[in-house]
Amino acid sequence: SQQGEEDPQALSIQEGENATMNCSYKTSINNLQWYRQNSGRGLVHLILIRSNEREKHSGRLRVTLDTSKKSSSLLITASRAADTASYFCATDRDSSYKLIFGSGTRLLVRP
Amino acid sequence: DTAVSQTPKYLVTQMGNDKSIKCEQNLGHDTMYWYKQDSKKFLKIMFSYNNKELIINETVPNRFSPKSPDKAHLNLHINSLELGDSAVYFCASSRGGAGRGGANTGELFFGEGSRLTVL
């Protein structure tokens, strides 16, 4: 079963706007990761946040983690057309050798 | 110098056939994975190996048999292919497990995927 549920399933914004994607999970975790997948390509790691961290930044990306609510959000600021992709959260629910992925958010950034 | 490479990229075959997908990583990682992504983009883990040893077998049918001849390679052989096997199969690797302890970054590096179509 999927560990993470992402919201929204699809998001369409104008270039320059911010995009926020949310991820909820069900059981305790050690870390939560976000990945991007361009159409027809493999997944690319964006950022990892550990369970004892609340916020992390990387360039135009900002990730928050609320372990009490079992949720995380990914904010992409000043979006670009090149940010168009699917974004997945992933958690190590049962085992450090088993990364479980959410259902993904499809982001479209209109030029 | 692709980090995680898998072949073939596309595979079209008839039901009942047997096929293999090969994966190699040149990152020096200890752990390798196979994931299946269906038409709705759901990614499901199938197997994970650490130093050639099977760690996770996520209730995958026996028709799927992974083989890791060394820690840089993890191949996937599928017997008696069924229509439901049509999907994109991704190989990935990581340094140690996905996030526990020490200097392990927990990051997975993915191949570009092998799209399997069973007719």
The answer to whether B109 faces chain A, any CB pair under 8 Å, is yes
Q: In DSSP terms, which residues pair with A28 in a beta bridge?
A: none
Chain B residues with beta carbon closer than 8 angstroms to that of A35: 108
User: How far, in Å, are B79, B80, B83 from residue B13 at the CA level?
Assistant: 12, 11, 10
Distance CA B68, CA A42 (A): 21
| Main-chain dihedrals φ then ψ at residue B45, nearest 5 degrees | -70, 140
Residues of chain A with pLDDT under 70: 1-4, 94-95
CB pairs under 8 A between A and B: 83
Residues of chain B with pLDDT under 50: 99, 101-104
Q: What is the pLDDT of residue B42?
A: 93
Chain A residues with beta carbon closer than 8 angstroms to that of B98: 31, 33, 90, 92, 96-99
Pair of tokens at residue A103: 């259902």
